[in-house]
Amino acid sequence: MARTLIHQALIVNEDRSFEGSVLIDGTCISKIFEGLVPDSILQECTVVDACGKWLMPGLIDDHVHFRDPGLTHKADILTESRAALAGGVTSFMDMPNTLPLTVSVEAWEDKMALAASKSLANYAFYLGATNDNLMELEKADYSRVCGVKVFMGSSTGNMLVGQQDSLEKIFRSVSAIVAVHAESEAIIRSNKARWMEETSGVLPLSFHPLIRSEEACYASSSLAVELASRLGTRLHLLHISTEKELSLFEDKPLREKRITAEVCVPHLWFDERDYIRFGNGIKCNPAIKTQQDKEALRAALNSNLLDVVATDHAPHLWSEKQGDCLTAASGTPSVQFSLTLMLELSAQGAFSKETVVRKMCHAPALLYGIDRRGFIREGYFADMVLVDPNSHWILTGPQILSKCGWSPFEEMGFHHRVCSTWVNGSMVYNNGTFAEGCAASELRFLS
């Protein structure tokens, strides 16, 4: 493979931004130049002129639903990994609520084989927990399995783990990261019954955050934290949606934590006022909540209370999104636009672009122990994204690459555009065009 020099970019990496160039040799970064590059390097390399653009590590999205296998009318690994690359996401970790459920090592192996043949981005898959599959979780190879997903709220099939003894066994026995969807099923059912009775069963979308309430989130998250603290579990709480839950977390460096938290882009972008404008397009679980919650979540990214920003990319056909609070499908596709959206929030003053890189690139790599990714460092795999920070554009339907074909962000105007994406040293996406072949590989996790 020829050597490539990404020349004269503003490199955003490890809490600083500086003008420099990055030399790619094969699959890895071989040299980072701050300032001038020797003429001999310029003459022997393929040079990518990056002047005026930002070079960042490729994003690692630790929370996606690519719907493959079994739900491929909504999405599949090929279509969604294409969307990911167009958004600067070079690695993803996919959830187990597919058909069949990924709740056995055999099902996980089948999914890995699918990804090996279809994925254009680096990939990993969670094993899902049930009330009775502890033996499967214990025999998994966690140098290849990114973690165990536990649904402590509504889920697909038999993946709702609501029994206290089952939760304790999982939290005690699993040596890897236990990633939890924390919403109290009992409180959700109680809220639903209450509002059904008070409204004679007519529940428009505005009732969604009342049913999947702050109380439902906090009760489940606090239980998970209590169990993990008592049993020594490596716990990662997914898609935190309320200010109240922030009180459960410690403001200290990621390396010192055994309990960490993720926030997803829709909860940082929308609040309950947006249900009127966007309707079921922003219906997701946990529900998007108040403006105060949104502002608190944004502020928490400027501390160490929230560790990771992900998407919970969850595509459905638009026809499946129709209905009321109880019947419309929950989930929002966002993997293609997560970096753009976060950089827009950065430009508005919510947090710095260096914080965006820390929470979307560095932190997932550190949290999961991913081998040589998530940073622009010599000797690391060359997963990178080049962004134009001065590109004024409007998102229109033809630009949406997810198979579902819609986005709640359609018709919005933006100022940051992903130009090019590299995976394992290969430019796989460049200004709307994808390279032939596949440079992706499975992610590996260090103990």
pLDDT tens digits, one per residue of 192-241: 999 999 998 889 999 999 999 999 999 999 999 999 999 999 999 999 99
Please give the full DSSP string across 326-375, using - where no structure is assigned. Answer: TTSPP-B--TTTHHHHHHHHHHTTSS-HHHHHIIIIIHHHHHHTBTT-SS
pLDDT at 248: 98
Distance CA 300, CA 437 (A): 40
DSSP type of residue 397: G
By the 10 Å C-beta count (0-12 exposed, 13-18 middle, 19+ buried), 105 is classed as middle
Distance CA 36, CA 54 (A): 17
Please give the full DSSP string across 425-447, using - where no structure is assigned. Answer: TEEEEETTEE-SS----B--B--
- pLDDT at 143 > cutoff 70: yes
Query: Quick one: the chain helix, strand, coil %, rounded to 5?
Result: 35, 25, 45
pLDDT at 159: 81
pLDDT digits (tens, 9 = 90+) for 75-117: 999 999 999 999 999 999 999 999 999 999 999 999 999 999 9
| Domain range annotation of the chain | 4-55+377-395+407-434, 58-368
High-pLDDT (> 70) share of the chain, %? 98
Residue recorded with tokens 């069949």: 100
Distance CA 439, CA 100 (A): 27
Looking at the domain that runs over 4-55+377-395+407-434, which CATH code has it been given?
2.30.40.10
- Considering the chain, what is the average pLDDT of its residues? 96
pLDDT digits (tens, 9 = 90+) for 227-281: 999 999 999 999 999 999 999 999 999 999 999 999 999 999 999 999 999 999 9
Residues in the chain: 447
pLDDT bin (cut points 50, 70, 90) of residue 156 is low
Query: Superfamily assignment of 58-368 in CATH?
Result: Metal-dependent hydrolases (3.20.20.140)
Contact of 351 with 301, CB cutoff 8 Å:
yes
pLDDT at 2: 77
Q: Which of 99, 98, 162 is nearest to 130 (CA)?
A: 162
Considering only residues 437 and 220, tell me which one the structure prediction assigns the higher pLDDT.
220
Contact of 188 with 247, CB cutoff 8 Å:
no
In the Cβ-directed half-sphere of 20, how many Cα atoms lie within 13 Å?
16
Bridge partners, residue 46, by sequence: 4
Sheet holding 148-151, edge to edge: 127-128, 148-151, 178-181, 235-237, 259-264, 308-310
pLDDT at 154: 61
3-state class of 175 per DSSP?
Answer: coil
Long-range contacts of 100-105 (CB under 8 A, 24+ apart): 100/69, 100/70, 101/128, 101/130, 101/156, 101/157, 101/158, 101/159, 102/126, 102/127, 102/128, 103/127, 103/128, 103/129, 103/130, 103/133, 103/136, 103/159, 104/133, 104/136, 105/136, 105/139, 105/140
Strands of 182-269 (E only): list them.
Answer: 235-237, 259-264
pLDDT bin (cut points 50, 70, 90) of residue 304 is very high
